[in-house]
Amino acid sequence: MRELYPPIKPYKQGKLQVSDLHAIHFEESGNPQGKPIVLLHGGPGGGCPAFYRQYFHPEKWRLIMFDQRGCGQSTPHAELRENTTWDLVDDIEKLREHLGIEKWVVFGGSWGSTLSLAYSQTYPERCKGLILRGIFMLRQKELRWFYQEGASYIFPDAWEEYLKPIPLAERDDMLTAYYKRLTSPDLQIRLEAARAWSIWEASTSRLFLDQQLMQIFGESEFADAFARIECHYFINKGFLESENQLLVNVDRIRNIPAVIVQGRYDVVCPMISAWELHLAWQEAEFIVVPDAGHSMSEAGIKSALIEATDRFANL
């Protein structure tokens, strides 16, 4: 099993004004002369923790990470206006141009896999390769599974906590009920919903419960952006043109070298989505980790991702 590379610090950080309203925080680490790779974090609204840098050989990669609109160190915090999938796709291109990069490898997991597919299908000529994990294509069956009924059968104890902010009369449409509270002008209502929403995801992300992850996800500042932005995207069906848009447009990226890493027991982004993408995209390498859930920190997923980044460094 592969282990993380030692911790490193970025050699460059900055803010890029991507609209009159939004500025995104970005950083570069590793080797300034290395192969460029951009990391698209999960959520949406998750931001980029420092340990993400440790998945990439520091001498081979020029790693670019950025906090998507409204989260992490990007501003304004938890902002929903001008915050759509296609705004983020445009931001990725603006960042690439700003950094003077012609082509790069794209790395993304969970929502980051969604955004990676959307970006690469829009700008295939800019992508040298794709490393994807925990496939999520923002279809209604995926959203219903996790936020309405499905995952609740596996984690009924955690589900009880997720239900608490929502009155019984509104529980037939949990997304709408949460959206109402996460956009409330009452900060107390908003934060109660945000913490419950975020802790639900943290409770189900790993094969074995991680109390530290639950604590991080329950912190008010993180939860506010994470829950608000996720729910905003999900209530708007990802701002996609059609239910199966990312699946239908696989032809646009068929010839880009790619690997898909999926945990067998991923409850947040169940394996059916990765499987259906695999069936439509046979050219992409498909790796199922037999003893893992959703988190990129789980041993098997971590090892598979590091092996993939090492191999793609030699593309």
Domain at 61, CATH number: 3.40.50.1820
Structurally, how many domains does the chain consist of?
A: 2
**Ramachandran angles phi, psi of 219, nearest 5°:** -70, 135
Res 315 pLDDT > 90: no
Give the domain-ending residue among 238, 268, 293.
238
One domain, residues 30 and 164: no
One domain, residues 200 and 306: no
Give the domain-ending residue among 238, 267, 286.
238
The residues annotated with a catalytic role in the active site are 110, 266, 294
One domain, residues 48 and 171: no
Residue 171 · residue 160 · CB < 8 Å: no
One domain, residues 123 and 150: no
In a domain, 182, yes or no: yes
d(CA 42, CA 108): 7
Whole-prediction pTM value? Answer: 0.98
Res 34 pLDDT > 90: yes
d(CA 37, CA 131): 10
Q: What is the pLDDT of residue 240?
A: 98
Residue 83 · residue 23 · CB < 8 Å: no
Mean pLDDT of all residues in the chain? 98
**Ramachandran angles phi, psi of 176, nearest 5°:** -65, -40
Give the residue numbers spanning the domain of 68: 12-139+239-312
Q: What is the rounded average pLDDT of the residues 235-262?
A: 98
One domain, residues 70 and 100: yes
Give the domain-ending residue among 215, 238, 261.
238
Q: What is the pLDDT of residue 19?
A: 98
Using the Cα atoms of residue 45, residue 46, residue 49 and residue 51 in order, give the sign of their dihedral: negative
One domain, residues 28 and 132: yes
Instruction: Give SS3 for 311.
Output: helix
161-220 tens-digit pLDDT: 999 999 999 999 999 999 999 999 999 999 999 999 999 999 999 999 999 999 999 999
One domain, residues 79 and 167: no
Which pLDDT band holds residue 256 (cuts at 50, 70, 90)? Answer: very high
Q: What is the pLDDT of residue 178?
A: 98
In a domain, 56, yes or no: yes
Res 313 pLDDT > 90: yes
Q: What is the pLDDT of residue 50?
A: 98
